[in-house]
């Protein structure tokens, strides 16, 4: 199983896996290869891969953001703290079952863009900053529940729903911003990465 669908991940340029693991406060660390670490992080914990093409990826389906949903102030505070450490980084989360799709971008230590769509709740609980060029090109990330949505016609509701993102949009945004985990060829990470747990998760 590769990293990508149905999980959350960080993409940090120019940082090594130890620095990212340190920033995430991972404890109980174990060296793991890409396949083993990625698979383990789908169940619990976080896997920080060795750098690929200048990017270090960290993913965890449950524990990457340590209980912070990608749809509120807590995730922005967490990303801002990571940004102050690394300068630039990106965050993505996607789950087709719950129709949960989120992305965020940090530049020079500041969150400049964040968006989250939660389809099961029928809501856009987080939108921060202006849509990027790739979002506009894909036609996502620009709409939310405007005032008066309760009185929308069926056609208006369908139009809103059609403008909401899916997991393929998340991958396309990741690819445009720098790196998409689905594009990493098998065996690309040469060195083992680091698997561990955020504080309080062991």
Q: What is the pLDDT of residue 150?
A: 65
If one counts the domains in the chain, the total is 1
* 1 domain residue, yes or no: no
Q: Is residue 14 part of a domain?
A: yes
- Predicted pLDDT at 73: 79
> What CA dihedral angle connects 126, 128, 134 and 139, to 10 degrees?
50
User: Is residue 42, in this structure, part of any structural domain at all?
Assistant: yes
List, run by run, the mean pLDDT of 10-residue segments along the chain (202 residues): 85 96 96 94 95 95 73 85 97 90 96 89 84 95 68 73 88 97 80 92 72
- Collect all residues with Cβ–Cβ distance below 8 Å to 1 and sequence separation of at least 6: 35, 38, 39, 42
Predicted pLDDT of residue 96: 87
Residue 121 counted as domain residue: yes
- Quote the pTM value: 0.91
> Would 202 be classed as within a structural domain?
no
pLDDT reported for residue 157: 73
Residue 34 belongs to domain spanning = 7-140+148-196
């Amino acid at each position: 199983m590769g990293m990508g669908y149905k999980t959350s991940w960080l993409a940090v340029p120019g940082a090594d896996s130890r620095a990212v693991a340190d920033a995430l406060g991972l404890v109980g660390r174990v060296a793991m290869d890409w396949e083993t670490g990625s698979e383990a992080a789908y169940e619990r914990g976080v896997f920080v891969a060795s750098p690929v093409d200048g990017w270090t990826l960290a993913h965890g389906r449950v524990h990457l953001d340590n209980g912070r949903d990608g749809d509120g102030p807590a995730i922005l505070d967490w990303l801002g703290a990571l940004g102050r450490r690394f300068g630039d980084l990106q965050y993505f989360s996607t789950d087709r079952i719950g129709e949960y799709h989120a992305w965020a971008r940090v530049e020079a230590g500041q969150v400049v863009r964040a968006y989250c769509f939660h389809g099961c709740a029928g809501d856009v609980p987080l939108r921060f900053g202006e849509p990027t060029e790739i979002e506009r090109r894909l036609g996502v990330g620009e709409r939310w529940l405007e005032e008066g949505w309760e009185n929308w016609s069926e056609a208006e509701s369908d139009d809103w729903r059609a403008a909401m993102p899916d997991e393929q949009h998340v991958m396309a945004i990741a690819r445009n911003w720098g790196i998409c985990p689905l594009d990493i060829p098998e065996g690309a990470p040469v060195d083992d990465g680091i698997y561990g747990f955020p504080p309080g998760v062991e």
